[in-house]
């Protein structure tokens, strides 16, 4: 089984790496780490050389891979790294297709559900791939996200119901 794990150096992405390492501890399969660096806007890119842009992206990718490598080096799990450039969700989907992975394991912070559903790269990746996507939560959401947002939505719906009567 081949698992694709997007990493960016965050605690959430490291939680996904640990999950993938545990899933493949039997030695049957490989973890493919991918880091996506954005393209620079054209008005910035024209003032820098292609070599300096590529060196900057490579440096940022290597720093993102460092913690994930440390986790995987402590296990017997085989892995490899891929550095990609472009829009995060598109690049992850492209790598998943080209490498033919069995599953994508993504880390995510615990945010309010509506925020996650609308703006998260996780949601965009799920829309673009045919393989299963496991989302590994890291940390706890704040009190406002757990209680304040649902309370505000409830109050808003109540006010709307009263106003339409």
Greater model confidence, 117 or 150: 150
Domain ranges of the chain: 2-140
Q: Does the pTM exceed 0.85? A: no
Show Cβ contacts of residue 91 under 8 Å, excluding neighbours closer than 6 positions: 34, 36, 84, 85
Q: Write the pLDDT tens digit of every residue in 10-60.
A: 888 999 999 999 999 888 889 999 999 888 777 777 787 888 878 888 888
Which residue from 29, 47, 161, 43 is spatially nearest to 105, judged by alpha carbons? 29
CB 8: neighbour CB atoms within 10 A? Answer: 20
Under CATH, what is the fold of the domain 2-140?
Rossmann fold (3.40.50)
pLDDT in tens, 104-132: 998 887 665 555 556 677 777 877 888 98
The residues, ordered by sequence, that sit 6+ positions from 132 with a Cβ below 8 Å of its Cβ are 102, 103, 104
Beta bridge partners of 108: 137
Identify whether the C-beta of residue 73 lies closer than 8 Å to the C-beta of residue 57.
Answer: no
Cβ partners under 8 Å of residue 2, min gap 6 = 29, 30, 31, 32, 99, 100, 101, 102, 103
- The 10s digit of each residue's pLDDT in 77-88 is 999 999 998 898
């Amino acid at each position: 089984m081949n698992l694709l794990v997007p990493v960016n150096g965050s605690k959430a992405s490291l939680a996904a790496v640990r999950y993938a390492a545990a899933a493949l501890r039997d030695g049957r399969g490989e973890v493919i780490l991918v880091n996506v660096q954005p393209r620079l806007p054209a008005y910035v890119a024209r003032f820098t050389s292609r070599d300096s842009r590529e060196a900057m992206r490579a440096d940022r990718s290597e720093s993102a891979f460092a913690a994930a490598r440390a986790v995987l080096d402590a296990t017997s799990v085989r892995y490899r790294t891929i550095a990609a450039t472009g829009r995060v969700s598109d690049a992850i989907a492209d790598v998943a297709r080209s490498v033919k992975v069995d599953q994508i394991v993504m880390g995510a912070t615990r945010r309010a559900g509506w925020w996650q559903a609308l703006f998260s790269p996780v949601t965009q990746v799920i829309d673009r791939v045919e393989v299963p996507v496991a989302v590994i939560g890291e940390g706890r959401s704040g009190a406002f996200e757990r209680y304040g947002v649902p309370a505000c939505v409830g109050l808003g719906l109540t006010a709307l119901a009263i106003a339409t009567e």
